[in-house]
């Protein structure tokens, strides 16, 4: 088994979960209604917990301790897609991102549940059932607000068009893509993107939102190789502040 | 001291409760996935209800405390996902304890195909079925929030997973 390929895969998934988990947690206390405050906070807890489990797999493959991996790397050492590091903006953008990301993430873990790397397959079987609640939540709100008032439709439409090129960046290919596929570790970004587009089309068809043609969109790439937007480093600085002051702190 | 049997250990573990739901033991919750005793060394395998459950470390320490209290010197408590936790792992006794505590027990997994089943969770207080889901996320990762139109009270359900 190609360990470099496997590690690269684990890093990007773990980093996606950690960074979006942190962004979700920024809604704590600020949700547009109490239920949404609780929902985004719960999804934050799920995602950060899942990232910890993935960093633990990396640690078992010889990488640093999970906390060190989460708190001590600089932005250019993170492999998350740029979509997840973008600021929360208004609720409409957070909802669109939640829908586009979690639809892909649920499918990614579905594929990984039959990975030839057993520790990852075991974890994926667990995580995929948890993510059902995330996609259920996203789909309900997309369907409701995506066909509600003129303002809600307009806001979601604008955020959708802004987010889609970043969302396509989720499927930026790994240099080890063919190894991962050949060794049965992961079916690959292309296979995932095909399934994701179909699901996104299916949900959006049940709303008044308009999906632009895929072929006119240019994916925003770079995140997987550490080439991030200006928004990631400030997020990392805030997230790691306590750990850097006192690595032994318990809270 | 005498080597304990696997049954002895399960009996001891009955004393360790879920810190969020103090009526439910870890055994009835289904998070203990294996217990073995080999040459006097005790091995316990646990798995979290949700991967991000913050109570897991606490539960693991409680398990270790119980072993120490019974003078077990050689032990290993491991957490893994080999046998993943699902809500079907909650025992019949656990389900009854949940309901008595005021938390609706989770429906069996095979009937949980979409949100429909969460929509009308039976009220644990009055058994009413005129209920609605208010939020698939609740005060802890494993609970959702509902409202009963029969007894006009909010209640929580242990989520099917």
Q: What is the ipTM of this complex?
A: 0.87
Q: Which of A127, A133, A139 to mutate to test the interface with B (most CBs of B within 10 A)?
A: A133
The answer to whether the CB atoms of B85 and A35 lie below 8 A apart is no
Residue A124 lies in a domain: yes
Residue of A38, A46, A122 with shortest CB distance to B52: A46
- Between these two residues, B144 and A223, which has the higher pLDDT value? A223
Residue A105 lies in a domain: yes
Chain A 21-50, residues with CB within 8 Å of chain B CB atoms: 35, 38-39, 41-43, 45-50
Beta-carbon pairs below 8 A across chains A and B: 67
The answer to whether the CB atoms of B136 and A39 lie below 8 A apart is yes
Domain boundaries of chain B, sorted by first residue:
6-85, 103-158
Distance CA A55, CA A6 (A): 12
Predicted pLDDT of residue B116 = 63
The answer to whether the CB atoms of B136 and A127 lie below 8 A apart is no
Predicted pLDDT of residue B83 = 93
In SS3 terms, chain A reads as CCHHHHHHHHHHHHHHHHHHHHHHHCCCCCCCCHHHHHHHHHHHHHHHHHHHHHHHHHHHCCCCCHHHHHHCCCHHHCCCCHHHHCCCCCHHHHHHHHHHHHHHHHHHHHHHCCCCCHHHHHHHHHHHHHHHHHHHHHHHHHHHHCCCCHHHHHHHHHHHHHHHHHHHHHHCCCCCHHHHHHCCCCCCHHHHHHHHHHHHHHHHCCCCCCCCCHHHCCCCCCHHHCCCCCCHHHHHHHHCHHHHHCCCCCC
Residue A166 lies in a domain: yes
- E strand or H helix at B86: none
Residue A251 lies in a domain: no
Domain containing A57: what range? Answer: 3-245
Predicted pLDDT of residue A77 = 98
Highest mean pLDDT among A156-160, B12-16, B40-44, B80-84: A156-160
**Counted domains in chain A:** 1
- Between these two residues, B124 and B3, which has the higher pLDDT value? B124
Chain B interface, Cβ < 8 Å to A: 47, 50-54, 80-82, 84-86, 114-115, 134-139, 141, 145, 159, 161
pLDDT tens digit at each of 251 positions of chain A: 679 999 999 999 999 999 999 999 999 999 999 999 999 999 999 999 999 999 999 999 999 999 999 999 999 999 999 999 999 999 999 999 999 999 999 999 999 999 999 999 999 999 999 999 999 999 989 999 999 999 999 999 999 999 999 999 999 999 999 999 999 999 999 999 999 999 999 999 999 999 999 999 999 999 999 999 999 999 999 999 999 999 888 76
Residue A250 lies in a domain: no
Distance CA B20, CA A138 (A): 27
Predicted pLDDT of residue A40 = 97
**Which residues from A are below 8 Å from B31, CB to CB?**
none
Predicted pLDDT of residue B140 = 87
Banded model confidence at residue B119, pLDDT cuts 50, 70, 90: confident
Q: Is A53 on the interface with B (CB under 8 A)?
A: yes
Domain containing residue A180: CATH number: 1.20.1260.10
Q: Is B107 helix (H, G, I), strand (E, B) or coil?
A: coil
Chain A 125-164, residues with CB within 8 Å of chain B CB atoms: 125-127, 129-130, 133, 136-137, 140
Distance CA A249, CA B60 (A): 20
Question: Chain B: residue nearest A131 by CA?
Answer: B161
Predicted pLDDT of residue A1 = 67
The answer to whether the CB atoms of B159 and A133 lie below 8 A apart is yes
Average pLDDT, chain B: 91
Residue of A53, A122, A137 with shortest CB distance to B136: A137
Residue A91 lies in a domain: yes
**Which residues from B are below 8 Å from A41, CB to CB?**
137
pLDDT of residue B110 exceeding 70 = no
Residue A23 lies in a domain: yes
Residue A22 lies in a domain: yes
Predicted pLDDT of residue B6 = 95
User: What would be the CATH architecture of the domain defined by B6-85?
Assistant: 2-Layer Sandwich (3.30)
């Amino acid at each position: 088994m190609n360990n470099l390929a496997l590690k690269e895969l684990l890093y990007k998934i773990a980093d996606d979960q950690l960074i979006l988990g942190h962004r979700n947690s920024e809604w704590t206390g600020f949700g547009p209604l109490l239920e949404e405050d609780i929902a985004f906070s719960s999804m934050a807890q799920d995602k950060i917990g899942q990232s910890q489990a993935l960093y633990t797999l990396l640690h078992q493959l010889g990488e640093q301790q999970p906390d060190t991996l989460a708190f001590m790397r600089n932005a250019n050492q993170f492999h998350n897609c740029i979509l997840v590091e973008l600021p929360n903006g208004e609720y409409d953008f957070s909802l669109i991102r939640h829908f586009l990301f979690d639809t892909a993430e649920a499918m990614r873990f579905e594929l990984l549940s039959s990975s030839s790397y057993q520790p990852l397959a075991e974890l994926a079987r667990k995580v995929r059932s948890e993510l059902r609640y995330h996609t259920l939540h996203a789909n309900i709100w997309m369907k409701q607000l995506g066909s509600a008032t003129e303002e809600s439709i307009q806001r979601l439409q604008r955020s959708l068009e802004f987010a889609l090129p970043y969302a396509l960046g989720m499927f930026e290919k790994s240099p080890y893509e063919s190894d991962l596929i050949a060794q049965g570790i992961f079916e690959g970004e292309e296979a995932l993107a095909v399934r994701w587009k179909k699901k996104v089309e299916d949900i959006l068809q049940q709303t008044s939102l308009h999906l632009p043609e895929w072929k006119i969109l240019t994916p925003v790439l770079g995140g997987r190789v550490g080439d991030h937007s200006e928004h990631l480093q400030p997020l990392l600085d805030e997230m790691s502040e306590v750990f850097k002051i006192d690595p032994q702190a318990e809270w | 001291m005498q080597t304990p049997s696997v049954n002895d250990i399960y009996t001891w573990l009955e004393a360790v409760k879920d810190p969020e739901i103090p009526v439910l033991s870890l055994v009835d919750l289904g998070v203990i996935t294996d217990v073995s005793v080999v040459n006097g060394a005790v091995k316990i395998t646990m798995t979290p209800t949700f991967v991000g459950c913050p109570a897991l470390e606490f539960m693991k320490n409680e398990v270790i405390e119980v072993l120490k209290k019974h003078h077990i010197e050689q032990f290993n408590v491991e957490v893994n996902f080999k046998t993943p936790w699902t809500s079907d792992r909650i025992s019949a006794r656990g389900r009854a304890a949940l309901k008595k505590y005021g938390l609706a027990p989770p429906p069996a997994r095979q009937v949980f195909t979409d949100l429909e089943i969460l929509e009308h969770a039976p009220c644990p207080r009055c058994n009413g079925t005129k209920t609605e889901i208010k939020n698939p996320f609740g005060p802890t990762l494993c609970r959702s929030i509902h409202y009963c139109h029969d007894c006009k009270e909010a209640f929580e359900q242990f989520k099917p997973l």
